[in-house]
Structure 1
């Protein structure tokens, strides 16, 4: 298809759509394997010590490693679904442009052959509704624990020292090492 300001190579569009589908097919098996592995991991694997509690998410309102892995898997599935829709739309677009180009070509040949005018108000294909967009994921809940707490501000007690300890004056006392004058 060609326009006044741009050109679309429909063969390239179709090959890109087929390449996207091929890549999605290649990603499906590793994604299924990853999902199976993630589902096998139980929270008890992380242990019951402080590190295990942190990995499970007991110390945070944001959830643990398992929760985040589930969210990542949902994101991967959404990506694969959306990419599949993009590939299908590219194929539809290319086919629609091919059909339009064929119709325009037939109309031009008819004009050249018959010397008439092109038909007005030709058959219009009804618009295809777009699929409903997937809803955005819910925002993460706000943390309930204070998390990091900054240390208290320093005090200026060091500017007011305690009174010095009284010590005896130097030079006093005697002993065998000291000679008397």
Structure 2
């Protein structure tokens, strides 16, 4: 009798582990990983993130409610790395690796860098570890972007970080630090 119980419990644990592995593997298919890299004469910026699809949904204000935390992508946290000290918007940020998250609003977003980078899934960060918080206006993109995109573009002062999805775009300027 005890052997049967142990066998059932063991089989249940294996089934549970396989289910979790399957979900993680298939989640990456729905929101594949991507990297945006820009090297300028001033610094290098790298952003590692996952790219969810629109799939006919209304994104901002429904799927992602306004004025609430968004991990800015899917799966793992979006991580941005700076090779040198920079100004992220108007905030001074030391060279290093940061979690990038946002709080989308209807007319403006907060784009935040946080020192906590190793969480997986939809976990809100420890807000006490926020390093920089920038408020930027929402812009309309020219066309509907079906898959979330982070774009880095070279600018005379440094770079622009653009977050684009659906018909929404926000841009954060990045400049060389002192």
User: TM-score interval w.r.t. the shorter chain?
Assistant: under 0.3
Q: Which has the higher strand share?
A: 2
Q: Which has the higher helix share?
A: 1
Given the two structures, how large is their TM-score scaled by the length of structure 1? Answer: 0.24
Given the two structures, how large is their TM-score scaled by the length of structure 2? Answer: 0.24
Q: Which has the higher contact order (CA 8 A, sep 6+)?
A: 1
